[in-house]
């Protein structure tokens, strides 16, 4: 199984960066500052980036690469009933395990 190009590009150290502004509650920032050194980070911003990256990877795995979900969406557009789709999804899930 090969690594998708999008994932490969994320492993590069020389990727272009951008600055953003986030409004985060003070207590959350204080918690990040407390946790960061415990996780081996010198500052809370690196920890925040890690959390964003972890969540993004999890969601990409769940949504972007889920062939079953894409197939179900395509079938739904073509009028296949929700009942049939739900049954097929359960059957596919059982077959995967």
Report pLDDT digits (tens) over 23-54: 999 999 999 999 999 999 999 999 999 999 99
Asked whether 50 and 56 are in contact (CB, 8 A), the reply is no
Asked whether 63 and 69 are in contact (CB, 8 A), the reply is yes
What's residue 7's pLDDT? 63
Q: Are residues 30 and 58 in the same domain?
A: yes
Q: Are residues 28 and 59 in the same domain?
A: yes
Asked whether 51 and 72 are in contact (CB, 8 A), the reply is no
Asked whether 44 and 36 are in contact (CB, 8 A), the reply is yes
Q: Are residues 51 and 27 in the same domain?
A: yes
Pull the structure tokens for residue 41: 């980070």
Residue 46 and residue 39: Cα distance in Å, rounded? 10
Q: Are residues 57 and 74 in the same domain?
A: no
Enter the pTM of the model: 0.57
Report pLDDT digits (tens) over 70-82: 788 888 899 999 8
Q: Are residues 45 and 30 in the same domain?
A: yes
Burial of 47 (0-12, 13-18, 19+ CB in 10 A): buried
79: containing domain: 66-97
């Amino acid at each position: 199984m090969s690594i998708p190009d999008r994932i490969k590009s994320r492993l590069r150290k020389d990727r272009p960066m951008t600055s953003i502004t986030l409004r985060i509650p003070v207590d959350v920032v204080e918690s990040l500052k407390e946790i960061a050194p415990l996780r081996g980070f010198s500052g809370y911003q690196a920890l925040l980036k890690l959390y964003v990256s972890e969540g993004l990877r999890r969601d990409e795995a769940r949504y972007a690469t889920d062939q079953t979900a894409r197939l179900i969406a395509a079938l739904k557009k073509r009028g296949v009933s929700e009942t049939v789709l739900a049954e097929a999804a359960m059957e596919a899930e059982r077959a995967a395990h």
